[in-house]
């Protein structure tokens, strides 16, 4: 490395930052006794070109270690080493020979060589692991945003598409120029826009290590990979392998290019972010950064300080409400908003963010309040997965009014109703109306409910109607993993069966129609619109293969379903009554059974009808038959001089032109619903010369 000089530097900002006089490096560690900065000439170098020990009297301000380096030319690759007490009994796990990543690094290089060797006891450490570690990379923030402006869609107009950067375009059928990358997402923007999507929610894109798993596929013998990415290594850094790797750090510019292109198409970007735990795992896991910098501050520890509290189900739990960790999380979110132009976040196992140092759930968690009230984050979308792996379930009671929530009860009740379970009609009606029983008591609105039938975690919609049991044998855990209660049904046989296609397609349409007719914010799992299958696997976290990838040949095979979903989204936009931020009043909606009497709310048959009256929409009528029998519904009369026009009938093919239909009821006050079907009717005046269908 060329000759460099150093000076004291500044404690802020944390991380690495280029200034006119040099590069400032800054790192938090309260309990370290010595810290060294390592500089590398290239990603392939085994040993650092220069090691710069920091002196506490010059390079330390409080708990921040800092140094300014002058004269560095070219790309800047660096890492840290920290010495201090190696006393697990006291919560300290310093390892002076470990190469540590900067928690604030905005990019990593050489991530194929992350060290995930397990065991952090001194006796198991290598003399030097520098040759097997990724490097932190100083990034250039000179990207041309070209006047980028966030779409800022209100919640009432938002349609979310949950997807995976790699899975979206890595399959050969995607015919992507840059498969499996941020650039590949750009290639699918015209498709997303035509479908009617206003926001994509990406599974984790912060740097994680896909090769951390040690299990093998029981059939092929190949190592399984961490596909989903819920095991973060560097929270500020976009994943290197989601870039083209044309040069170190290109993933940062390519992520920004993707965001800019999405915004130009009117599509927002929401990141799934995992602040509940890190990739360092339990006491036997690797030392990557936090553990070797200040283990007792970054993590929740058991009374026996050698071990970690595990509210995430993955081995450790971040100490989110410690002031230092709170600041770290706020700095990270601000980075993604300010520097990367992200529009929102979905917080994985968000209940962890409300636990104190002892693991207790706080009534007013300071971190959640700070996120909600932060002036930089005041307009971004905040979505909580309002539960964790230790039993907390806060759907409807998650602290604060800014937070929308994944509504797990919506998913379960809609699945159970359409499966024909007894006694769920009342719950289904509430989900359709925005879940007032869940949200009204806390002063929240339907728009706090993120409605979904399926998500990345569980069956796809196709598999929900093709499998009664999960089939996770490929995960090499003897089918023990994944949810056991899926509220699914195969309608006669397990797996694909051409003879059952009719009922399965209707049920897919029924659930999708329910999703887009419900008050709240709809979230569509990517690929459900063309029946993507995971072969019955409901926990495909480790399946970086055709089980998880989007096979775009299915789009042509199931073109009619795709057209149907476009029709649903178009129709939702044309009927603002479905998107209201308010709950229905008793005057807005009238419920009835097939005979126009009051519904049998808790009875054995899933049958329901309702009419909706609102000032901004002609009267609507919704009819639901989730039984295996045809049912005749008597329905209230349409408005004077009007008839009932059929906008949706899940027992018939979708119209060729989304949003258009010319069918009217044969009888003004009666409709026959085939088994497992749904109809949406609108009271309209017939044009002269148009008569009901005979």
Distances (CA, A) of 277 to 185, 206, 229, 378, 556: 27, 13, 12, 25, 40
User: Which residues are within 8 A (CB) of 309 and not within 5 positions of it... i.e. 6 or more apart?
Assistant: 299, 300, 301, 302, 316, 317, 359
DSSP string, 344-379: EEEETTGGGGGB-TTSPBPSS-HHHHHHHH-SSSTT
Residues forming beta bridges with residue 25, ordered by sequence position: 16, 67
Q: What is the DSSP string of 45-99?
A: -SS-SEEEEEPHHHHEETTEEEEEEE---S--EEEEEEE--EEGGGTEE--TTS-
348 classed as catalytic: yes
Strand partners, 67: 25
With tokens 């092929």, the residue in question is 220
Size (the chain), residues? 694
How many CA atoms does the CB half-sphere of 307 hold within 13 Å?
A: 6
> Distance between CA 388 and CA 394 in Å, rounded?
9
Asked if residues 49 and 39 have their Cβ atoms less than 8 Å apart, the reply is yes
From residue 668, alpha-carbon distances to 32, 496, 503, 595, 635 in Å are 79, 39, 27, 15, 8
Is residue 312 left, alpha or beta, with left meaning phi > 0 and alpha meaning psi from -120 to 50? Answer: alpha
7: burial class by Cβ within 10 Å (0-12, 13-18, 19+)?
Answer: middle
Q: Phi-psi category of 667—alpha, beta or left, where left has phi over 0 and alpha has psi -120 to 50?
A: beta
E-only strand ranges, 578-650: 589-592, 607-614, 617-625, 631-634, 643-649
Predicted model pTM: 0.96
Tell me, what's the pLDDT at 642?
87
pLDDT tens-place string over residues 236-255: 999 999 999 999 999 999 99
Report the alpha-carbon distance of residue 383 to residue 379 in Å, rounded. 13
Any idea which residue has 């006119």 for tokens? 20
Q: Is-contact 347 353, C-beta < 8 A?
A: yes
Residue 235 neighbours by CB distance under 10 Å: 23
Are 417 and 425 in contact, with CB atoms under 8 Å apart? yes
Look at the block and give the residue holding tokens 């002058």: 70
Catalytic residue of the set 254, 385, 388, 457: 385
Over the range 592-620, which residues count as b (16 or more CB within 10 Å of their CB) and which as e? Answer: bbbeeeebbeeeebbbbbbbbbbeebbbb
Match 């309990």 to its residue by tokens: 31
b/e map of 97-106 (b: 16 or more CB within 10 Å)? ebbbbbbbbb
- Confirm if 410 and 523 have CB atoms less than 8 A apart: no
Structure token pair of residue 461: 């919609």
Residue 339: exposed, middle, or buried by beta-carbon count in 10 A (0-12, 13-18, 19+)?
middle
Q: Which of 129, 348, 412, 544 is catalytic?
A: 348
* CB-based contact 641:685 (threshold 8 Å): yes
Angle at 298 (CA atoms; ends 294, 300), nearest 5 degrees: 120
673 in Cβ contact with 679 (< 8 Å): yes
CA 568 to CA 451: how far, in whole Å? 15
Phi, psi of 185 (to 5 degrees): -60, -40
Residue 370 has φ and ψ, to the nearest 5°, of: -65, -40
- d(CA 234, CA 291) in angstroms, rounded, equals 13
46 token code pair:
């085994």
Told to judge if 649 belongs to the known catalytic residues of this protein, a careful annotator would answer no
Cβ neighbours around 221 below 10 Å, total: 7
Residues of the chain with pLDDT under 50: 119-131, 688-694
């Amino acid at each position: 490395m060329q000759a460099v000089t150093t000076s004291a530097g500044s404690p802020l900002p944390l991380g690495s930052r280029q200034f006119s006089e040099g590069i400032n490096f800054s790192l938090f560690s309260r309990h370290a006794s010595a810290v060294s900065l390592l500089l590398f000439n290239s990603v392939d170098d085994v040993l650092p070109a220069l090691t710069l020990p920091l002196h506490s009297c010059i390079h330390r301000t409080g708990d921040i270690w800092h140094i300014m380096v002058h004269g560095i030319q070219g790309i800047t690759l660096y890492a840290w080493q920290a010495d201090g007490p190696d006393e697990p009994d006291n919560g300290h796990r310093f390892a002076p020979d470990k190469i540590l990543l900067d928690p604030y690094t905005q990019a990593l290089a050489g991530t194929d060589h992350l060290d995930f060797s397990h065991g952090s006891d001194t006796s198991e450490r290598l003399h030097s692991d520098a040759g097997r570690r990724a490097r932190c990379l100083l990034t250039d923030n000179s990207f041309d945003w070209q006047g980028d402006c966030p779409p800022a869609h209100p919640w009432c107009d938002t349609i979310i598409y949950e997807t995976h950067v790699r899975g979206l375009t890595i399959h050969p059928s995607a015919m992507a120029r840059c498969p499996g990358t941020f650039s590949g997402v750009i290639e699918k923007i015209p498709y997303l826009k035509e479908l009617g999507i206003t926001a994509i929610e990406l599974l984790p894109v912060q740097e994680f290590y896909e090769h951390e798993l040690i299990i093998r596929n029981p059939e092929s013998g190949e190592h399984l990979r961490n596909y989903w990415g819920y095991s973060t290594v560097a929270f500020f850094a976009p994943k290197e392998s989601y870039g083209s790797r044309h040069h170190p750090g290109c993933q940062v510019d390519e992520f920004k290019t993707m965001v800019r292109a999405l915004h130009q198409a009117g599509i927002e970007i929401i990141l799934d972010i995992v602040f509940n735990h890190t990739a360092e795992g339990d006491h036997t896991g690797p030392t990557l950064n936090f553990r070797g910098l200040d283990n007792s501050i970054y993590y929740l520890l058991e009374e026996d300080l050698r071990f970690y509290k595990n509210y995430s189900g993955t081995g450790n739990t971040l100490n989110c409400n410690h002031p230092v960790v709170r600041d770290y999380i706020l700095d990270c979110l601000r980075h993604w908003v300010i520097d990367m132009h992200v529009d929102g976040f979905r917080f994985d196992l968000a209940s962890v963010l409300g636990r104190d140092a002892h693991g207790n759930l706080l009534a007013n968690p300071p971190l959640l309040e700070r996120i909600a009230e932060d002036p930089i984050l005041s307009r971004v979308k905040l979505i909580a997965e309002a539960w964790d792996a230790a039993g907390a379930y806060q759907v409807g009671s998650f602290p604060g009014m800014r937070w929308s929530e994944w509504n797990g009860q919506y998913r379960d009740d809609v699945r159970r109703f359409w499966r024909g379970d007894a006694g769920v009609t009342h719950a289904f009606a509430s989900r359709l109306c925005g879940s007032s029983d869940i949200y009204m008591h806390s002063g929240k609105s339907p728009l706090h409910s993120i409605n979904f039938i399926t998500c990345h975690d569980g069956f796809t919609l196709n598999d929900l109607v093709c499998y009664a049991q999960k089939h996770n044998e490929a995960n090499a855990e003897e089918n023990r993993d994944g949810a056991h209660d899926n509220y699914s049904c195969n309608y006669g046989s397990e797996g694909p069966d051409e003879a059952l296609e009719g009922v399965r397609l209707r049920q897919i349409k029924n659930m999708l129609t329910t999703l887009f007719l419900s008050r709240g914010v709809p979230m569509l799992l990517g690929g459900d619109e063309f029946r993507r299958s995971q072969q019955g696997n409901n926990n495909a976290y480790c399946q970086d293969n055709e089980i998880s990838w989007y096979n775009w040949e299915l789009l042509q095979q199931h073109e009619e379903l795709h057209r149907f979903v476009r029709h649903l989204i178009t129709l939702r936009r044309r009927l603002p009554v479905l998107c209201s931020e308010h709950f229905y009043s008793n005057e807005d909606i009238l419920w009835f059974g097939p005979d126009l009497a009051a519904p049998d709310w808790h009875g054995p048959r899933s049958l329901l009808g309702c009419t909706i009256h609102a000032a901004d929409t002609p009267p609507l009528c919704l009819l639901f038959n989730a039984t295996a029998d045809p049912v005749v519904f008597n329905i209230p009369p349409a408005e004077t001089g009007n008839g009932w026009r059929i906008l949706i009938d899940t027992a018939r093919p979708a119209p060729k032109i989304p949003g258009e239909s010319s069918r009217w009821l044969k009888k003004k006050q009666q409709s026959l619903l085939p088994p497992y079907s749904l109809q949406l009717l609108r009271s309209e005046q017939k044009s002269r010369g148009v008569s009901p269908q005979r």
